[in-house]
Amino acid sequence: MKLHCESALLTDLYELTMLQAYFSRHMNETAVFEFFVRRLPERRNFLMAAGLEQVLSYLTALRFDHEDIAWLRASGKFSAAYIDSLAEFRFTGDVDAMPEGTIFFADEPILRITAPLREAQFVETRIINLLQFQTIVASKAARAVNVANGKRLVDFGLRRAHGAEAGLLSARASYLAGFDATATTLAGAMFDIPVSGTMAHSFIQAHESETDAFAGFARAFPDNATLLIDTYDTEAAAEQVVRLAQWLREEEGIRIKAVRLDSGELGTLAYRVREILDAGGCEAIGIVASGNLDEYAVQELTEGDAPIDGFGIGTRMNTSADAPFLDCAYKLVEYAGQPCRKRSLGKMTWPGSKQVYRHTTAQGILEGDVLALADEDVAGEALLKPVMRGGVLQYSPPPLSAVRAYAQEQLSRLPLALHSLEPASPYPLQVSRALQELTHQVDEIQRSRADSDKQRWGLEAG
Amino acid sequence: MKLHCESALLTDLYELTMLQAYFSRHMNETAVFEFFVRRLPERRNFLMAAGLEQVLSYLTALRFDHEDIAWLRASGKFSAAYIDSLAEFRFTGDVDAMPEGTIFFADEPILRITAPLREAQFVETRIINLLQFQTIVASKAARAVNVANGKRLVDFGLRRAHGAEAGLLSARASYLAGFDATATTLAGAMFDIPVSGTMAHSFIQAHESETDAFAGFARAFPDNATLLIDTYDTEAAAEQVVRLAQWLREEEGIRIKAVRLDSGELGTLAYRVREILDAGGCEAIGIVASGNLDEYAVQELTEGDAPIDGFGIGTRMNTSADAPFLDCAYKLVEYAGQPCRKRSLGKMTWPGSKQVYRHTTAQGILEGDVLALADEDVAGEALLKPVMRGGVLQYSPPPLSAVRAYAQEQLSRLPLALHSLEPASPYPLQVSRALQELTHQVDEIQRSRADSDKQRWGLEAG
């Protein structure tokens, strides 16, 4: 049986049960769903949208293949007529979305789907799965970029990412947000991200001596070797690097590029190692730091002017360890022309098909957003752009390097207070008068429907 | 270009750079690497091993295909001879491992690879990626199982899992640890896990009234409908369910199975809803709770005797939100017959090929483990079992249901204190005398090698 991550069965079973109920009731009018974040994590002043390209690929490729259909049939959970209908199931709807790299805030939809109800409902699970993960990683990576002072940042996180796709997509999201490279080879191949790699402690240990290991590696990569110097004694290793570098340069024309520190007090060690290297005439050898880093550690090291030229950042960024998920949702806001909303405690939503308008200062700095109805006439830049119509892409997704450049431009327009790693006052979001009025109307209509529903069943109207 | 999660390029670039250095130096003696966890997360008293089956599949299938080779060649980073050699690269080594579902603790290897250096080194990244993620999820899920009092637990977490593979593997790991089902359809199809699904709020909202939605869903699933009742007003919805259930039972022979609460004070609401259902003769309708749950919430609700029959647990479990990564490593412990170890600050390792021996009480309760050399004669059960020899599986991986039964048996043998969600005294791990002695010897040898290395380079011996 060929089952893989691209299978249409990569979804919550309830999407399929709801579709069966819609199928048997012939319900398939146009629905509008929006993806948004209810609240920012405590330690985030802004979010950066990411994952749209994968969502669009998913929507374009979506179909139930032979094996999917066979499994559904064998499960005994669904009617034969419904399962037959799935063979023809395609996404034929519209998508409006913020471009990847756009800065956004709570309650702002970053993606809106307008499609026949069954299609718009079915894609919920994978859309959330793709958007929330890349968005949390891009948002955290952007914070590291904001405090790195232009120093080189490399994604080191595949090994402790949550599976293969998490490793690949976090490499993509962090590069998009401004990282310079990834250690994940396949992410380099798939997304055209520069790849970077050095050596592990095991490489040192497999050799008779540390110097043998250094020399062997430098000979294999004559102008590009980064040597890991903390396996036994960091300062002693730095001394050896000085001698070795001189020898290799003079005898074999080989240049050592950098050394890497992966444990201990990185700031203090970097000073000592820099002194040793400089005293030995190795001013050109850089220092790279890694090991348990995140944006807080990068800020501390850059603010302390530690002589570190680049950072390898892994686990904590790839898992967004201090905020490993977003309080996000993909909610129905309109069906068959009727706006609707959910009123569950703590999870209320704004009804109707919406748009986000952004106001900026004369210098282009973000000043405040307005959440409005999609068909309202509101000043400012409309952030949700049409990207798919009738199931057909309306543009060629830009290369990742262009998305990255756009993300950098977005970060340059972020108010300074929001750049801080510490919580800042929330960015102003205004809700348009028309949207507020619609919300009251929807509540009234839902109340009166609920009352007539109760009367029908002999209950007391509330 | 066909690039996918099974590509051999799903690895850190440094594995490939190290291999090139080994290749050019003809280094490929037998190496022993071990995967272990350095420290348990603060809120874990034990861990449960998971992910071995995926590791073994990876090792069996590992090869560089045409596209991988083409990309490596085009990258310009490696020698032609080395790239050519990768076409024949296979894993031909031995694997010893704790069976999935085994309880383990800090410093205990759960997997040991004995293979030619290049093979043993290369597989590092994906082995860590597979073992750490499933292990953190199984370990957290086991905590929920420990406090659920036998109530039904269903994995709801695909949408906020970190990508597709995380959703699939966390469904597998939670089922392995004792969950009863998953909402992730594809995980059901791939791993033969029971699947479970209800409806979303959007289903209610797309209908003219809540009762219409309930009736439509119940008719589509005549003996299996779980109705979501918190979209507008939970208690009012429960009243409607009572009337509707009676009508459907009498007029159409349809039975409603359960209602689901997804917001608000779940314990209090469950009491009120139970009262309403019972007063209306609906004692047979169950109550399922979901929304932001983890093992702490499950414990609180079961200790409070909330009338909840099952829990849908998502995000916090699938991301292991309170401990989204493990401080784990895959370390070289022996090369060419020579034991070795890393001495980096805070990251020291025990040298040599090792085994873990477990002592139990007469009742089978875990009493303490011994970390020893693999060839030592130590009492107790040896936890690392031979699973692969010369690249060939030594057994048929058991069906997941059998792994799950073994995991339950393991949990039943865990000392009660370690069942607690609160931190307990660490489980006793003794280090054998022979291993301690070897560690001193290795340090001595490394020190004297470092000294002669320094003398060679004209540095002062330390």
Tokens of B359: 């002592």
Contact B186, B214 (CB under 8 A): no
pLDDT for the residue numbered B341: 81
Architecture of domain B141-318: Alpha-Beta Barrel (3.20)
Residue A264 pLDDT greater than 70, yes or no: yes
Residue pairs between chains A and B whose CB atoms are closer than 8 Å = 389
pLDDT for the residue numbered B447: 83
With bands split at pLDDT 50, 70 and 90, how would you rate the model's confidence at A6? confident
Contact B106, B429 (CB under 8 A): yes
Question: In this complex, do B450 and A188 lie within 8 Å of one another by their Cβ atoms?
Answer: no
User: Is residue B338 within 8 angstroms of chain A, CB to CB?
Assistant: no
Task: Tell me, rounded to whole angstroms, the distance of Cα A185 from its chain centroid.
Answer: 19
Residue B460 pLDDT greater than 60, yes or no: no
The CATH superfamily holding the domain A13-137+325-456 is nicotinate phosphoribosyltransferase (3.20.140.10)
pLDDT for the residue numbered A368: 98
pLDDT for the residue numbered A448: 85
CATH class of A143-318: alpha beta
Contact B245, B210 (CB under 8 A): no
User: Is residue A24 within 8 angstroms of chain B, CB to CB?
Assistant: yes
Residue B343 pLDDT greater than 80, yes or no: no
- In the stretch 415-434 of chain B, residues with CB closer than 8 A to chain A read none
Residue B1 pLDDT greater than 70, yes or no: no
pLDDT for the residue numbered A459: 61
Residue A238 pLDDT greater than 90, yes or no: yes
Q: How many angstroms separate the CA atoms of A104 and A47, rounded?
A: 5
Q: Which helix (H) or strand (E) holds A245?
A: helix A234-252
CA end-to-end span of chain B: 54
Handedness of CA A447, A452, A456, A458 (dihedral sign): positive
Nearest chain B CA: its distance from A270 CA (Å): 15
pLDDT for the residue numbered A342: 75
Indicate the CATH number for domain B13-137+326-430.
Answer: 3.20.140.10
Q: How many angstroms separate the CA atoms of A292 and A261, rounded?
A: 12
The percent of residues above 90 in pLDDT, for chain A, comes to: 90
CA dihedral B364, B365, B368, B372 (to 10 degrees): 30
Mean pLDDT of B361-366: 96
Q: pLDDT tens for residues B97-139?
A: 999 999 999 999 999 999 999 999 999 999 999 999 999 999 9
Collapsing DSSP to helix, strand or coil, A389 comes out as strand
Q: pLDDT tens for residues B136-190?
A: 999 999 999 999 999 999 999 999 999 999 999 999 999 999 999 999 999 999 9
**Residue for token digits 């008779």?**
A208
> What is the CB-side half-sphere exposure of residue B1 using CA atoms within 13 A?
12
pLDDT for the residue numbered B170: 98
Q: How many angstroms separate the CA atoms of A32 and A15, rounded?
A: 16
Q: pLDDT tens for residues A389-431?
A: 999 999 898 999 999 999 999 999 999 999 999 999 999 999 9
Q: pLDDT tens for residues A107-127?
A: 999 999 999 999 999 999 999
Question: In this complex, do B344 and A11 lie within 8 Å of one another by their Cβ atoms?
Answer: no
pLDDT for the residue numbered B459: 61
User: Is residue B11 within 8 angstroms of chain A, CB to CB?
Assistant: yes
Which one of B3, B158, B453 has the shortest CB-CB distance to A210? Answer: B453
A7 vs B345, higher pLDDT: A7
Burial annotation B76-98 (CB, 10 A radius, 16+ → b, else e)? ebbeeebbeebeeeebebbbbbb
Q: Which of B137, B241, B129, B232 has the alpha carbon at shortest distance from B184?
A: B137
Contact B83, B72 (CB under 8 A): yes
Which one of B33, B183, B190 has the shortest CB-CB distance to A14? Answer: B183
Residue B337 pLDDT greater than 60, yes or no: yes
Q: Which of B176, B411, B154, B423 has the alpha carbon at shortest distance from B293?
A: B154
User: Is residue A181 within 8 angstroms of chain B, CB to CB?
Assistant: no
Question: In this complex, do A166 and B169 lie within 8 Å of one another by their Cβ atoms?
Answer: no
Contacts of B346 in chain A (CB under 8 A): 263-264
Q: pLDDT tens for residues A37-75?
A: 999 999 999 999 999 999 999 999 999 999 999 999 999
Q: How many angstroms separate the CA atoms of A247 and A215, rounded?
A: 10
Nearest chain A CA: its distance from B416 CA (Å): 30
The percent of residues above 90 in pLDDT, for chain B, comes to: 90
User: Is residue A33 within 8 angstroms of chain B, CB to CB?
Assistant: yes
pLDDT for the residue numbered A349: 83
Q: pLDDT tens for residues A276-322?
A: 999 999 999 999 999 999 999 999 999 999 999 999 999 999 999 99
With bands split at pLDDT 50, 70 and 90, how would you rate the model's confidence at A457? low
Question: In this complex, do A315 and B325 lie within 8 Å of one another by their Cβ atoms?
Answer: yes
Nearest chain B CA: its distance from A26 CA (Å): 11
Residue A369 pLDDT greater than 80, yes or no: yes
Question: In this complex, do B202 and A33 lie within 8 Å of one another by their Cβ atoms?
Answer: yes
With bands split at pLDDT 50, 70 and 90, how would you rate the model's confidence at A453? confident
Residue B359 pLDDT greater than 90, yes or no: yes
Residue B70 pLDDT greater than 90, yes or no: yes
Question: In this complex, do A164 and B197 lie within 8 Å of one another by their Cβ atoms?
Answer: no
Q: How many angstroms separate the CA atoms of A330 and B392, rounded?
A: 46
Q: How many angstroms separate the CA atoms of A327 and A347, rounded?
A: 10
Which one of A20, A262, A340 has the shortest CB-CB distance to B205? Answer: A340
Structure ipTM: 0.96
Q: pLDDT tens for residues B232-267?
A: 899 999 999 999 999 999 999 999 999 999 999 999
Domain chopping of chain A, boundaries: 13-137+325-456, 143-318
Nearest chain B CA: its distance from A359 CA (Å): 31
Q: How many angstroms separate the CA atoms of B144 and B146, rounded?
A: 5
Across chain A, what does the average pLDDT equal? 94
Residue B314 pLDDT greater than 50, yes or no: yes
Question: In this complex, do B162 and A162 lie within 8 Å of one another by their Cβ atoms?
Answer: yes
User: Is residue A448 within 8 angstroms of chain B, CB to CB?
Assistant: no
Which one of A22, A232, A344 has the shortest CB-CB distance to B231? Answer: A344
Question: In this complex, do A17 and B221 lie within 8 Å of one another by their Cβ atoms?
Answer: yes
pLDDT for the residue numbered B4: 63
pLDDT for the residue numbered B462: 43
Mean pLDDT check: name the lowest of A243-247, B33-37, B46-50, B341-345: B341-345
